[in-house]
Amino acid sequence: MKKEKEILNKNLSPEQYHVLVERGTERPFTGKLLYNKKKGSYRCARCGNVIFDSKTKFDSSCGWPSFYDAKKGSVKFKKDFRDLMIRTEVVCAKCGGHLGHLFKDAPQTPTGNRFCINSIALNFKPEKKKQAKRKPLKVPKPTKARSRAKQKEKTETAFFAAGCFWNVEEAFRTMRGVKETIVGYMGGDEKKYPNPSYWQVSTGKTGYEETTEIIFDPKKISYEKLLKKFWKIHDPTQINRQGPDVGKEYKSMIFYATPKQKLLATASKKEAQKKFKGKIATEIRKAEKFYRAEDYHQKYLMKRGLKTCRF
Ligand SMILES: [Zn+2]
């Protein structure tokens, strides 16, 4: 047994020997596996025993690779009284090598445990990529409709309400990367007003906002850039109005279409707040059904060669 261990130790670097055999600790934030997010298994660097699955790795920001669970039977625990602390030491069940410590301070994980492990005590083995299927899928030649659908896949949609939709549409229509803009209504009482008209919305009683749908190519323009424009083209600190346009239908709103948009919009609002004296009143809400407005509202300013509807 002793001889076996000697053989195992021969393969270790001095740093690995210090950790695995002398029960040392590597300096935090120095391990090469700390930020490793690849799929695979983590093995004892001394004997190859499989100890952790990449699925249980999480970011604890403690400076050492952290896992919330070890493979059954792969480790043993010992009381560690060194350094004036009582800690639970984690050792390899196969070779007894020191790996790190166990702390019960990770309530965000399924087990609540944090295996705080020296990167140098582990070797990572990436998961083998699944073999390609024998029969490659036959790809039919794209028809026109198909390629149109493909094109559509590449676009994203944003919805903004920032006062008179003629203005909002015109502001975004001309941006590079914006493919299409449509004005309409969103966020109202769909049961009571299943097909809202401009006249109904303009009463301010329907709950609908004059909203602009913006279809854009995320490769050419980011949602963040659209948000920046959004804060520029109106005064989001005004409540239920924009300049001369007064009414609930002129409320400043961001209707997010995806969870990512929600995050970006929230962050952007926080950032924009620094530039306004008053509190930003803009509401960030999940997008609902979008009702296209009457044709004569579409690209209203463009058709008239105007830049703004404020005279
Ligand atoms: Zn081992």
Give the distance (Å) from ligand 1 centre to CA of residue 48. Answer: 6
Fold annotation for 2-126: 2.170.150
Q: Which of 44, 92, 95, 116 is catalytic?
A: 116
Q: What Cα–Cα distance (Å) separates residue 109 from each residue in 8, 19, 90, 153? A: 34, 26, 18, 35
In CATH terms, is domain 151-303 a member of 3.30.1060.10?
Answer: yes
Rounded to the nearest whole angstrom, what is the distance from the C-alpha of residue 24 to the centroid of ligand 1? Answer: 15
Q: HEC profile for 78-132?
A: EEECHHHCCEEEEEECCCCCEEEEEECCCCCCCCCCEEEECHHHEEEEECCCCCC
- Does an H or E element contain 58, and which? strand 57-58
For the chain, domain boundaries: 2-126, 151-303
Q: Going by C-beta distance under 8 Å and a sequence separation of 6 or more, which residues neighbour residue 287?
A: 159, 186, 255, 256, 257
- Predicted local distance difference test score (pLDDT) of residue 150: 56
Cα 79 to middle of ligand 1, angstroms: 18
pLDDT in tens, 26-70: 999 999 999 999 999 999 999 999 999 999 999 988 899 999 999
Ligand 1 geometric centre to CA of 56 (Å): 19
CA of 97 to the centre of ligand 1 (A): 5
d(C-alpha 232, C-alpha 179), whole Å: 20
3-state secondary structure of 75: strand
Contact by Cβ (8 Å): 180, 215: yes
Among the options 44, 92, 95, 164, which is catalytic? 164
Active site residue 47: no
- For the chain, 311 residues long, give each residue's pLDDT as a single digit of tens: 667 778 888 889 999 999 999 999 999 999 999 999 999 999 999 999 999 999 999 998 889 999 999 999 999 999 999 888 889 999 999 999 999 999 999 988 999 999 999 999 999 999 987 655 555 555 555 545 555 555 556 899 999 999 889 889 999 998 999 999 999 999 999 899 998 998 888 888 899 999 999 999 999 999 999 999 999 999 999 887 777 777 777 889 999 999 999 999 999 999 999 999 999 999 999 999 999 998 888 888 887 777 776 54
State yes or no: is 44 an active-site residue: no
